[in-house]
């Protein structure tokens, strides 16, 4: 079974936008970029999407290439293909991790999700997300209320399997 991004982590962000990547995430990024030109600098793709998107979605190089192939397989002129090209391929930014396991998040991405001094990382299996910690906490609270409203207080997420 292929590895995956799991867990939640919060890291400091310096004034230049430099932050550490969780060590387990770094290993997955390395595994997901076997053909990287620089052995100690795995690549990743950050999708920043629509204006109202509050988080950055991070793909390994291999996962993003597979996603791009899925988009390209849709018929030319297809409405969904055009939207995917615009908001996934067009609203993406390639990055590398430095040899110390850090990345420098560009100012436009920090501004997009209002990151200042801390970044919250959340594993989602094939991808991980980067949030402003306070924004993620508010999102989680809203989601929790919706889940309880829909499924009840005793909801067990494993029941969905």
Q: How far apart are CA 94 and CA 77, in angstroms?
A: 26
161: which residues sit within 8 A by CB, 6+ positions away? none
pLDDT at 144: 84
Q: Are 75 and 85 in contact (CB under 8 A)?
A: no
pLDDT at 84: 96
Domains of the chain: 8-131 (3.40.1550.20)
Which of these, 47, 53, 54, 33, lies nearest to 96 by C-alpha position? Answer: 33
pTM, whole model, 2 decimals?
A: 0.90
Which residues of the chain register pLDDT less than 70?
Answer: 1-2
pLDDT at 152: 81
pLDDT at 2: 60
pLDDT at 93: 98
Which of these, 127, 106, 109, lies nearest to 6 by C-alpha position? Answer: 127
């Amino acid at each position: 079974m292929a590895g995956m991004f799991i867990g939640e982590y919060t890291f400091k962000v310096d004034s230049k936008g430099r932050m550490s990547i969780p060590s387990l995430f770094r290993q997955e990024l390395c595994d997901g970029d076997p053909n990287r030109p620089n052995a100690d600098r795995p690549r990743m793709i950050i999708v920043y999407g629509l204006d109202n998107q509050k988080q950055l979605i991070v793909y390994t190089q291999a996962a993003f290439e597979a996603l791009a192939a899925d988009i390209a397989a849709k018929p030319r002129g297809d409405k969904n293909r055009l939207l995917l090209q615009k908001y996934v391929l067009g609203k993406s930014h390639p990055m590398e991790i430095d040899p110390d396991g850090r990345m420098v998040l560009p100012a436009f991405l920090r501004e997009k999700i209002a990151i200042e001094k801390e970044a919250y990382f959340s594993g989602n299996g094939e991808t991980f997300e980067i949030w402003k910690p306070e924004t993620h906490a508010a999102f989680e609270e809203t989601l929790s209320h919706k889940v309880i409203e829909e499924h009840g207080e005793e909801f067990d997420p494993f029941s969905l399997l």
